[in-house]
Each structure stands twice: as structure tokens, then as C-alpha cells.
Amino acid sequence: MPVRGFEIKNTGPITYVKADNLPSVVIIAGPNGVGKSTLLESLKRKNGNINMDSATKTVYIPPHRAPCSLPLSRALVFAGPSHSYRDTLSSESFAFTSGVPGVYFNLPGYLSQGTPRTRLMPDFAPYAQVKYRLVRFHQEFGYALNELYIKYGGEIPKGVAPEDIFTPFRDLVAKLLPGITFSKIELEGEEYKVYFIHKNGNRIDFDQLSSGEKDLISMLFPLIEKQIENEFVRILGKQVPHEDLVILIDTPEANLHPALQKKFLEYIRNSVKKAQNAGERLQFIVVTHSTQMINWAEPEELFFMLFPEQTVDGNQLMKIGADEDRIQLIREVLGDTGFASLAGGKSMLLVEGKDDVEILGLLVPYITERFTILPLGGKERVRTIATSIEKLLCELASRGLKVFAILDRDTGEGICQSNLCFVWPRYCIENYLLLDPEAIFESLKVLIGETRLRELGYDTVEKVKSLLNSLVANHDEICEELFKQKVAECVTFHLGDQWSNLEDLKKKAREQLEKLLERLNEQYHNLQEEINRIHSDQERVWVEVNGKVILGRLGKKFGVKREQLARVIADKLGSRGKTPQEVQDLVSNLERLCQNQIDLE
């Protein structure tokens, strides 16, 4: 590889980063301020211990690609600079200067006097130079054809020169930008125009392209330029020069639709393969915030950059791993959104469903500043991935990524074994919304109005409290609900992965079912006795009964959906500083764990 590895210390936000055996495509993700752009700029300037061949050309594309006005007159193109686009993007600054001594151009100061090409400044080089190089190729191709015409006595033999020098550029536009096609370069008066045809039939100049179209072209033009240059070399009958290239791109997704981001990744991977087939070495090192690019990255390509305090061994650059199974485990539990959120810089908190995310965020308003909260997809999915949850949490914690889970009691008690996975002290988070009759009363006033409440006979907090008590006092209904809950907890079983075909699976299922029936037979009467004991203890009922069910019955009484009622109650409690103590304690415990090294034993 052009860049085999690097070690950079104490540079801006970077305390220490190290990487070895880098692949041909490197995708580095991480939160704002962690040092991704600083890392890329350090590679460009070779600050630190950079393990790369001295002959490798480093092309740097900063994050702030900026448009500029550069009318390309005939004189400007004739007398303009002759260096390549790749040379321009390898330089520390950009100035559009004459290539002919004594000739000067009337250009804006930021072009004639130059600007530094850094992560902090607008970079005028990419868009301006792509347009200029295209026109320059057009002009040079005309000169080359004229020389061949003279050389061969007025007729150029077929195959000596390509019919269209811009074929590589046309192919790029056709593959990646279906909204436009490259048309031609035309001299209108004294000014060159680079024309495209929009899919609506209109002819548009390069400067009229969208930001995304210009961005994609400018990021990939180093490859196109090299292909066109190779055609010129062949025309002259010379050997195509060998060139190793590393292209550093900061935030390629800035102006790209997600579909274009995917095409961009596919294109650079294919370009690497083509370079290898040609005996050249090509490498891309990309830093990004894009969820799509993180999820489309191959396992060996993806690195996360951490803050110094997150690291386990001091190295802020963490390779997710070339192990496809490990990536699959992360995606199985977290999903694509959660997988990408690992690069967000915050600790992550997993809860069972979307309602839990919303209720917790309302009960503890500041929690979203400390954690990225993600739903696991509901109770059934939690049971499906039960064996993976603890394994994943411990795996990520061992690598400096702190991910926690809070589960309902019926699912969590059989899963949570470490201090990364927690179970609500009550049946579920909705149980905490039933503890404050005043908050419920105020919420009902918001949802149906005081007049309607009065008409229904619930015009005081005490009357609402009595209604709540009556909902859990009905012996038959509550006992039936509790019994269903307890039986559901007993009937879950896991088939594991110790089977290889349908017959093995059937056998495994029968064995598990027999054990389940034995367990039910043994526990049935014990469960009935336990239910009666719970119901005789009013306080225990509020802990053990499914809060979703009670909240649903309460909402039905007033014609309000359970989810609506839950949101308003949670908001009342959180905004008034009346978050239940058990919820506060659990969140405080999570915050402490975020600050300290986690014991995984």
C-alpha cells in the first residue's frame, strides 16, 4: 500500500493514533472534534511517523470545497499553468498563475494571490482546476491531432489516436451522475465553455452543475485525469508512466445524496482493482460522518476514531475488525443505525422499544446529551437476540465503546448478567408513570380538557387516584394478567445453534418443548400461589403488574391512546423535576459507569 501505516502524537485533538497494515480503502468515522481532519492533514504533511514510499504522490481534498468564478478565455488556457490536477491537490496552497513569464491574469485575489489548502479554509482548487484541466485537454488534443495529421501526411491511421479523448470522463458521468451527460467543450467568442446536457434536455455549463455533481467529479477527477494523460502518452508512442497514489478525502458525503455515496464507494474500490491490474498502487483514505458510508464499508476498511478518554490502550484509532462475524453480531443487535452511532462519540443506551426511548427522554430530559438512545425493536426481537446482547456489550466495552442496555423485567432477568445490562426494578418503564396521580390528573386535563374530566366525574386528584387503585384491585383481572406474564416468562426457550439440518432442528425443538412442559407442570400451582401473594400486597402489585396494560386501561376509560397518555405523563414528571427516584438512580449509575473503567468480570 502507498501508506502502510502511521503513528501520530500530540497534534491538535490527537493524543495518539497508530495504524499498521492499512488496506487500499480506509474509512475513518468518528464524532466532531475527535481529530479526523487533523489526522488526514497530518498524513498530507507527513507529520509524525508515516510509513509510506517516498515516490508516492499524496493528493489531499479538504472538507470545504468551494465554487469560484473562473472564466476560461482562450489566452488564459493557452498561458495558464501546465501542472496536473494531482499536482495541484498535492500542494500546500492554490494560486492560478501564468505558465508564461511576464503574462498576468486579471483574476480575483483569492485565485491570483493564492490561498492555503487546509482543513480550515475554503479550497478553490478542486472545482476551478477540474474545469481548467478539461479545457486544457481539449486544447492539447487538438494540438496532438494536428501533429499526427502532419506526421502521417494528411490522414491519421485508424487506432493511432482515440476518437474521443474524454471517454473516461464521459464514462464517469454516465455511471455516477444519471441526471446529466457530458456534451462537449466549445469556444464561444473568446471563452471556453464545458457543456453538459441535463436530463430535461437543457444544455448547462460546468459552473451550473449542482454542488453534489461538481463535488463527485472533483473527488474522482485525479483518476480520470491520469487515464486521459495515459491516452496522450500512447498517442505520442511513449511508455505509460507508473504512478503510485494515495488520495485523502475529507467528508466526501458533504454534498452527496446517500445513493451517490454508495456509488462513490463502489467506484473507488473498482479503481483500486484496475490500478492493481495495471501494476500501480492506489489507496483512498477517507474520513466521514456518513451513516451510509459506515454501513457500506467492508469490515477490513472501517476504523473508528475515539476521544483519548474512551481508549483502552491509548490508541484513538480502533479497527472494527476484518472479522465479518463480528460485524454481523454488531449489526444483528444494533441495526444499521446503531452500528453507525458507535462512531458518534457518546455512550450508547439500548432499550426495548421506541416508546421506551421517548418516555425515558421525557422523564430524564438531559439523558440525550449523555447517551445515544436506541430501541432494540420490541420484546420479541429482544428475545430473539437474547444470547447476543451480553456478548456484544462486553465485546464493545473491551474496545473502549461503552454500550449499555435497560430491559423490561420479563425479558431482562434471563439476559442481563453483567454491569452493562440492567433490568427495570419495576415491570417496565410505564410502571413509573402510574406512581403520581397528580401528574396523571394534569395530563388528562391536557388531553381531554377539564370540562370533560368533570363530566366523567374525575375533577380531583383524589378521584383519579381512586380510579387507579380500582384498576389494580379487581382480583380476577389482575390475577389473570399476572398469571399470563409469569407463564410467558416460563415458556420462552432457546434452540441455540447446535443443529445442522431440519431433522436436528426438530429434535432440538422437541427436547426443549418436553423440558418446557415439565417446567410448566412443576411450576403451575406455584405460580398461582405466587400470584395470590402478589395481589394481596398492593405495593407489590404496582411493581409486578405490566404497566403498559394498566396505562392502556386507564387511557381507554377516557378515550385516549396509551402512547399519548404515556408521553404527556412522562413530560409532566420530567419537566417538573418529579422523575421517579428509581429511574434517577439507574441513570446516575450509568453515568458513573461512563466515567470509570468497566469491570467485565
Region of 120 (left: φ > 0; alpha: ψ -120 to 50; beta: rest) is alpha
What is the DSSP secondary structure assignment for residue 497, as one 8-state letter? S
Measure the CA–CA gap between 120 and 228, rounded to whole angstroms.
Answer: 32
Amino acid identity of 111?
L
Q: What is the pTM of this model?
A: 0.81
Q: pLDDT tens across 359-393, in order?
A: 999 999 999 999 999 998 887 788 777 778 888 88
Measure the CA–CA gap between 9 and 18, rounded to whole angstroms.
Answer: 9
Other CB atoms within a 10 A radius of the CB of residue 386 amount to 16
384: Cα separation from own chain's centroid: 25
Mean pLDDT over 435-439 rounds to 95
Mean pLDDT over 194-222 rounds to 96
Confidence category of residue 442, pLDDT binned at 50, 70, 90: very high
Asked whether the predicted pLDDT for residue 496 surpasses 80, the reply is no
Instruction: Label each residue of 187-223 as H, E or C.
Output: EECCEEEEEEEECCCCEEEHHHCCHHHHHHHHHHHHH
Asked whether the predicted pLDDT for residue 234 surpasses 70, the reply is yes
Asked whether the predicted pLDDT for residue 522 surpasses 70, the reply is no
Other CB atoms within a 10 A radius of the CB of residue 552 amount to 18
**All 3 cell numbers of residue 236?**
505520442
CB 330 within 8 A of CB 394: no
Q: What is the pLDDT of residue 521?
A: 65
Mean pLDDT over 197-225 rounds to 96
CB 547 within 8 A of CB 555: no
Asked whether the predicted pLDDT for residue 444 surpasses 70, the reply is yes
Confidence category of residue 397, pLDDT binned at 50, 70, 90: confident
Asked whether the predicted pLDDT for residue 494 surpasses 80, the reply is no
Q: pLDDT tens across 36-74, in order?
A: 999 999 999 999 999 998 889 999 999 999 998 788 988
Measure the CA–CA gap between 318 and 303, rounded to whole angstroms.
Answer: 5
Amino acid identity of 328?
Q
CB 13 within 8 A of CB 34: yes
Measure the CA–CA gap between 519 and 212, rounded to whole angstroms.
Answer: 62
Mean pLDDT over 168-172 rounds to 96
Asked whether the predicted pLDDT for residue 525 surpasses 90, the reply is no
Confidence category of residue 488, pLDDT binned at 50, 70, 90: low
Phi, psi of 598 (to 5 degrees): -90, 130
Confidence category of residue 310, pLDDT binned at 50, 70, 90: confident
Q: Any idea where the domains of the chain sit in the sequence?
A: 72-243, 430-592
The contacts of residue 531 (CB under 8 Å, 6+ apart) are 479, 482, 483, 486
Q: Which of 177, 183, 229 is nearest to 205 (CA)?
A: 183
Q: Which span out of 180-189, 475-484, 543-552 was modeled with the highest average pLDDT?
A: 180-189
Q: pLDDT tens across 446-467, in order?
A: 999 999 999 999 999 999 999 9
What is the DSSP secondary structure assignment for residue 238, as one 8-state letter? P
Mean pLDDT over 200-221 rounds to 95
**Whats the size of the chain, residue-wise?**
601
Confidence category of residue 475, pLDDT binned at 50, 70, 90: very low
Measure the CA–CA gap between 502 and 431, rounded to whole angstroms.
Answer: 42
Rg (CA), the chain: 33
Q: pLDDT tens across 5-38, in order?
A: 999 999 999 999 999 999 999 999 999 999 999 9
Task: State the pairing for strand pair 25-29/282-288.
Answer: parallel
Measure the CA–CA gap between 345 and 416, rounded to whole angstroms.
Answer: 24
| Rounded to 5°, angle at Cα 295 from 293 and 297 | 65
What is residue 412's three-state secondary structure?
A: helix
- In whole numbers, what is the pLDDT of the chain averaged over residues? 87
Instruction: Give the whole-number percent of the chain exceeding pLDDT 90.
Output: 55
Asked whether the predicted pLDDT for residue 493 surpasses 90, the reply is no
